Chains A and B, each alone.
Chain A
């Protein structure tokens, strides 16, 4: 299936209103999807200090707000992440804490609050097995937490090698290798040589590695875990790759190298990028637009190259802060969050 040949468009399915301030992030519950009859669930978090849980009705196909998680965080909730089982939701807040919420279906209960960061927590990520959690902050540190029984979370590591705010943390999709990106323009890879949980900074991807020249806002991996895309205030997307076999052997560190830079497509900061299961990269930027990219079919001596598949101008009335493809099989849905206070659900479809 060559996507470039199909006449595709991004169709707005629905606009989810309710937040009273900018929406910073969205996260799809990993276990819900259309295909197996379970209703898709989406979490959104906002400058209004709340998290909203949205669900799509299987009958009417329309989305509604199921519940609002409020009166816990006292400041902006910057991002949220579902555990792999979909049973827990972690919320990162400017109030310096990370909330852990238990998903009881129509209700959520805050079962734990992780403290320790000196100031705003920017991002939270679960590892593939749900045994570890990572958080990061403007205090320049990355924390790794062990998930224990009885709703206990133990701080396993405090990693302080970034020289500025850490914007996002993201665990590798299959291995317990942690990635962080920062206001210091670098991406750091944190690896534990033995399984003793001693994490070290194994690699820093900076300007000398063909890295970004300004703040790096987010990281996303392809399904196989051998490639990642990063986006930046320098208005480029960068594609990086690694030797996945070497990485999976776990014997030594498998370094990441720069494969490709997509420049000239964005003229404002790119806040978010997400790699879909079928290899479509979506970006959300400060020019209110959403863009989709796919790898070029033409072989290149220099490595992979990417083409712009489509650009959705005025996707929102203001900056697009987060874009996320829905998980699972079935129809390709996209969720976006914006400074305009809206969450939107999109569908990639062939033009009629």
Chain B
């Protein structure tokens, strides 16, 4: 997998103020989209550009959240079957980063959720040139398992998902 930041001038959203949630807003059982977003939030703050080579614009250390990759609306949950769908929007059409972002999202959720949850990860419709190809790859668990055995990729993913635990 080549790591390279292709989009030199991404459209940047203003960093949203995170709402502080009270205990009342948490459900007693199961998970809701806000819980999932909380799990993913640390990786959204991960400063990607520090870790990829061929950075075209090192002056812009953007995070995933600022690039509108994942928002609270990106999470769909099927309570009965314990299935989670994450839809993310890579702002760069031809970005190979979509695969790595997908792997990090999956790895972070695997670390944080009970094992029986089924997680599907997709790019949002129209957001990627090879939408079907990327979706298929992100959800083929054999490919994901093999990719995660690649030491370089594993290291990058680990740095991302544990980035809040310094």
Main secondary structure of the interface of A (DSSP, over half): loop
Measured between beta carbons, the chain B residues less than 8 angstroms from A138 are 143, 146
B115 touching A317 by the CB < 8 A rule?
A: yes
**Would A319 and B141 count as touching, CB distance under 8 A?**
yes
Q: Which residues of A contact B (CB under 8 A)?
A: 22, 47, 75-76, 78, 94, 119-120, 122, 138, 165, 167, 183, 214-215, 233, 268, 286-288, 317-319, 339-340
Q: Is the CB of A317 within 8 A of B118?
A: no
Point out the residue from A76, A268, A317 that lies within 8 Å of B146, measured CB to CB. Answer: A76
| Chain B positions 135-162 with a Cβ under 8 Å from a chain A Cβ | 136, 140-143, 145-146, 149
Which B residue sits closest to A95, measured CB to CB? Answer: B149
Tell me if A340 and B146 are in contact (CB < 8 A): no
| A-B residue pairs in contact (CB < 8 Å), sample of 26 | A47-B145, A76-B145, A76-B149, A78-B142, A94-B146, A94-B149, A119-B146, A120-B146, A138-B143, A138-B146, A165-B142, A167-B142, A183-B136, A183-B140, A214-B136, A233-B136, A233-B140, A268-B118, A286-B118, A287-B81, A287-B118, A288-B116, A317-B115, A317-B116, A318-B115, A318-B116
A81 to B143, CA, bound (A): 21
Contacts of B143 in A (CB 8 A): 138, 165, 183
Contact of A215 among B81, B115, B116, B140 (CB under 8 A): B140
Q: How far is the CA of A190 from the CA of B136 in the complex (A)?
A: 26
17 additional contacts (CB under 8 A) given A22-B145, A288-B116, A318-B116 = A47-B145, A76-B145, A76-B149, A78-B142, A94-B146, A138-B143, A138-B146, A165-B143, A183-B140, A183-B143, A214-B136, A215-B140, A233-B140, A287-B81, A317-B116, A319-B141, A340-B115
Which residues of A are found within 8 Å of B142, using beta-carbon distances? 78, 122, 165, 167
Q: Please state if B149 and A75 are interface contacts (CB–CB under 8 Å).
A: yes
Cα-based distance from A233 to B135 in the complex (angstroms): 12
Query: What are the 4 A-B residue pairs with the smallest beta carbon separation, nearest first?
Result: A120-B146, A75-B149, A94-B146, A94-B149
Shortest CB distance B55–A (Å): 28
How many Å from the CB of B120 to the closest CB on chain A?
9
List, in ascending order, chain B residues with CB within 8 A of A286's CB: 118
8 Å CB contacts to A: which residues of B8-35? none
Interface residues of B in 107-145 (CB under 8 A from A): 115-116, 118, 136, 140-143, 145
Task: Report which residue of B118, B136, B140 has the largest number of chain A beta carbons within 10 angstroms of its beta carbon.
Answer: B140
User: How far is A320 from B136 in the complex, measured between Cα atoms in Å?
Assistant: 19
With a cutoff of 8 Å between Cβ atoms, the chain A residues found around residue B146 in the complex are 76, 94, 119-120, 138
A14 to chain B minimum Cβ distance, whole angstroms, is 22
Roughly how many angstroms separate A78 CA and B149 CA in the complex, as a whole number?
13
CB-defined contacts of B115 to chain A, threshold 8 Å: 317-318, 340
CA A75 – CA B142 in complex, angstroms?
A: 13
Within the complex, the shortest CB–CB distance from A340 to chain B, in Å, comes to 7
* Whole-angstrom distance between the Cβ of A46 and the nearest chain B Cβ: 11
Residues of B within 8 A of A120 (CB): 146
Residues of B within 8 A of A122 (CB): 142
- Which residues of the other chain, A, contact B118 by a CB distance below 8 angstroms? 268, 286-287
Identify the closest chain B residue to A138 (Cβ).
B146
